[in-house]
């Protein structure tokens, strides 16, 4: 169901943009003794609740850990925009799935990009090979996250604008589900029980694992395992462990392997079942594979191909991975594209289109030349995006001029797209990061909405909005996520 209201959601009421919540007041934010007291409570609660990361100094060891970066206070989020994002997530799930099954669209959309971007070309080569050999697995599991900012309109009200769709390794569901408990505790320590009661729980980890468990069940082999494809070094291991433990509690065995280990010890049997170290793999869940750095040798690429050729349910499969490229997202803004994929759901088309910011191709030709000229003249109005995931890759301001100046006369420009820069209203908060001095910051929140869907043959078995992620960063930084040390985990406080 993607037409109507999602079950269990409260419809948005009146939003008063002038509403002052207690932790926005200057006398609170400047009260040094209160802030120090609440900061200690927040850090201890984060450690107690398992809001954890490995340290920068020892990123491969759990012997020394720290609290994951968080805000001291939850950040104000318009309830109507949160509900809008949640409602649209089911629509995006269907859209992503249907595009992933359309090789002609993907080939046309990415034709120029694969000539300019080697990483996308390598992924596309795997996609082509899998298509030529034939799709082995009719069950698809998608775990994605659609990220938004709250764009400030001329009348100072806010509207929801999509930053990107993440179709591979959408992270932080595990830790995000724990942060509301921390912020409730901060409110209680401060003596604000009414405010504490307004902080809603976040079931992202449980909902995502319901999807993984359902797909595992559909695979139909009780002894088969869920394989987490992971990075060689992962500071964010505890986020992954949250999901692992949920699956273990459902009596589903989880194994963790790197690409090189799949190459060295993975095999396909006569029925193309994937076996790793003696385990049959029901689901290959990618928590790596989105960056060129994850493929540090040809053997890693061979491992990715082996997985894609197998009977294991891939999350995502290679087609769905390609749907998450910036170029495909840019193609969706063209007239008629959404209608083509969702012809029976006109309301879904409206909901999706309402979230789009301006996205522009800079491929060679008059249209690309025109938008490049506009960006060179006014770079502050745009963001230049390469075909990369993981945060910290986007290009802003004067650097846009420098990059475009170097590529505007060649085919390499097809490795990028341009997007209108979103202008959100800043909020004040304290960003708690291990080893960093406490200071009051002007901050920008970014809302991510998780989606889970399962398709078996051509039937949608599951389609849900599976919780959320709120990340906040200082206005000092234009780009970068939690793992990059820029953004911190946050909780919505509805206004």
Active site residue 326: yes
- Among 389, 421, 448, 463, the active-site one is 389
Q: What is the pLDDT of residues 186-213, one digit of tens each?
A: 999 999 999 999 999 999 999 999 999 9
The total domain count for the chain is 2
- Among 79, 273, 385, 421, the active-site one is 385
Active site residue 390: yes
d(CA 255, CA 143): 19
CB atoms within 10 A of CB 477: 14
Regarding whether 203 and 189 lie in a shared domain, the answer is yes
d(CA 445, CA 493): 11
Mapped onto helix, strand or coil, the DSSP state of residue 473 is strand
Please check whether residue 259 lies inside any domain of the structure: yes
Residue 407 belongs to what domain range? 358-421
pTM of the model: 0.93
Regarding whether 345 and 299 lie in a shared domain, the answer is yes
Regarding whether 250 and 184 lie in a shared domain, the answer is yes
Quote the pLDDT of residue 83.
Answer: 98
Percent above pLDDT 70 for the chain: 95
Quote the pLDDT of residue 484.
Answer: 66
Query: Does residue 387 contact residue 415 with C-beta atoms inside 8 Å?
Result: yes
Q: What is the pLDDT of residues 299-346, one digit of tens each?
A: 999 999 999 999 999 999 999 999 999 999 999 999 999 999 999 999
> Does the structure show a pLDDT above 50 at 14?
no
- Among 112, 166, 288, 317, the active-site one is 166
Name the pLDDT band for 20 (thresholds 50, 70, 90).
Answer: low
Percent above pLDDT 90 for the chain: 87
Quote the pLDDT of residue 17.
Answer: 37
Quote the pLDDT of residue 13.
Answer: 36
Query: Does residue 85 contact residue 148 with C-beta atoms inside 8 Å?
Result: yes
Please check whether residue 8 lies inside any domain of the structure: no
Regarding whether 248 and 190 lie in a shared domain, the answer is yes
- Among 471, 473, 481, 483, the active-site one is 471
Handedness of CA 363, 367, 373, 375 (dihedral sign): negative
- Please state the φ and ψ torsions of residue 493, each to the nearest 5 degrees: -115, 105
Active site residue 164: yes
Q: Going by C-beta distance under 8 Å and a sequence separation of 6 or more, which residues neighbour residue 31?
A: none
User: Rounded to the nearest 5 degrees, what angle is found at the Cα of 444, between the Cα atoms of 439 and 450?
Assistant: 125
Regarding whether 445 and 412 lie in a shared domain, the answer is no
> Does the structure show a pLDDT above 50 at 9?
no
- Among 164, 195, 207, 331, the active-site one is 164
> Does the structure show a pLDDT above 60 at 18?
no
Match 């349910």 to its residue by tokens.
Answer: 313
User: Rounded to the nearest 5 degrees, what angle is found at the Cα of 59, between the Cα atoms of 55 and 62?
Assistant: 75
Q: What is the pLDDT of residues 139-182, one digit of tens each?
A: 999 999 999 999 988 777 899 999 999 999 999 999 999 999 99
From its phi and psi, is residue 367 left (phi > 0), alpha (psi between -120 and 50) or beta?
Answer: alpha
From its phi and psi, is residue 435 left (phi > 0), alpha (psi between -120 and 50) or beta?
Answer: left
Regarding whether 384 and 447 lie in a shared domain, the answer is no
- Among 174, 211, 390, 467, the active-site one is 390
Q: What is the CATH number of the domain that holds 365?
A: 3.30.1490.50
- Among 326, 351, 413, 421, the active-site one is 326
CB atoms within 10 A of CB 21: 18
Active site residue 202: no
Please check whether residue 6 lies inside any domain of the structure: no
Name the pLDDT band for 480 (thresholds 50, 70, 90).
Answer: low
- Please state the φ and ψ torsions of residue 361, each to the nearest 5 degrees: -80, 140
Active site residue 331: no
Active site residue 257: no
- Among 43, 54, 79, 145, the active-site one is 145
Tokens of 184: 């409730």
- Among 100, 112, 144, 171, the active-site one is 171
Quote the pLDDT of residue 40.
Answer: 98
Regarding whether 245 and 388 lie in a shared domain, the answer is no
Regarding whether 394 and 454 lie in a shared domain, the answer is no
* Bridge partners, 75 (sequence order): 492
Tokens of 424: 């959100």
């Amino acid at each position: 169901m993607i037409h109507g209201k999602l079950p269990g959601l409260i419809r948005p009421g009146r939003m008063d943009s002038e509403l002052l919540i207690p932790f926005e007041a200057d006398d609170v934010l400047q009260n040094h003794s209160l802030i120090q007291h609440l900061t200690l409570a927040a850090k201890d609660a984060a450690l107690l609740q398992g809001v954890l990361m490995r340290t920068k100094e020892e990123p491969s060891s759990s012997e020394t850990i720290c609290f994951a970066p968080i805000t001291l206070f939850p950040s104000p989020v318009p309830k109507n925009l949160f509900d809008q994002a949640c409602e649209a997530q089911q629509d995006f799930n269907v859209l992503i799935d249907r595009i992933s099954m359309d090789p002609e669209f993907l080939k046309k959309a990415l034709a120029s990009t694969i000539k300019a971007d080697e990483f996308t070309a390598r992924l596309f080569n795997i996609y082509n090979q899998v298509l030529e050999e034939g799709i082995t697995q009719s069950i698809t599991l998608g775990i994605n996250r659609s990220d938004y900012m709250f764009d400030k309109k001329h009348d100072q009200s806010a509207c929801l604008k999509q930053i990107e769709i993440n179709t591979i390794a959408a992270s932080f569901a595990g830790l995000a589900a724990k942060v509301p408990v921390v912020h409730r505790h901060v409110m209680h320590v401060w003596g604000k029980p009414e405010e504490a009661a307004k902080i809603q729980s976040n079931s992202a980890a449980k909902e995502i694992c319901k999807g993984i468990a359902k797909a595992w069940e559909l695979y139909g082999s009780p002894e088969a395992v869920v394989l987490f494809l992971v990075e060689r070094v992962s500071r964010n291991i505890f986020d992954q462990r949250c999901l692992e433990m949920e699956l273990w509690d459902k009596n589903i065995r989880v194994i963790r392997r790197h690409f090189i280990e799949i190459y060295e010890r993975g095999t396909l049997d006569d029925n193309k079942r994937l076996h790793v170290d003696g385990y049959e793999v029901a689901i290959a869940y990618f928590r790596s594979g989105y960056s060129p750095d994850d493929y540090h040798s040809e053997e890693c690429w061979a491992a990715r191909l082996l997985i894609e050729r197998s009977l294991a349910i891939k999350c995502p499969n290679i087609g769905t991975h390609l749907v998450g490229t910036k170029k495909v997202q840019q193609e969706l803004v063209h007239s008629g594209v959404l209608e083509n994929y969702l012809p029976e759901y006109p309301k879904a088309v409206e909901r999706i289109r309402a979230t789009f910011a301006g996205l522009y191709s800079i491929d060679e030709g008059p249209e690309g030349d025109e938008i490049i000229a506009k960006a060179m003249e006014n770079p502050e109005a745009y963001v230049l995006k390469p075909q990369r995931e993981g945060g910290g890759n986007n290009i802003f301001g004067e650097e846009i001029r420098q990059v475009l100046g170097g590529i505007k006369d060649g085919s390499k420009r097809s490795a990028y797209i341009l997007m209108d820069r979103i202008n959100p209203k800043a909020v004040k908060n304290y960003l708690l990061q291990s080893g960093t001095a406490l200071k009051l910051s002007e901050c920008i929140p970014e809302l991510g909405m998780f989606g889970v869907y399962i398709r078996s043959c051509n039937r949608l078995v599951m389609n849900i909005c599976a919780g959320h992620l709120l990340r906040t960063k200082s206005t000092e930084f234009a780009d970068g996520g939690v793992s990059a040390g820029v953004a911190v985990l946050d909780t919505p406080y509805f206004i």
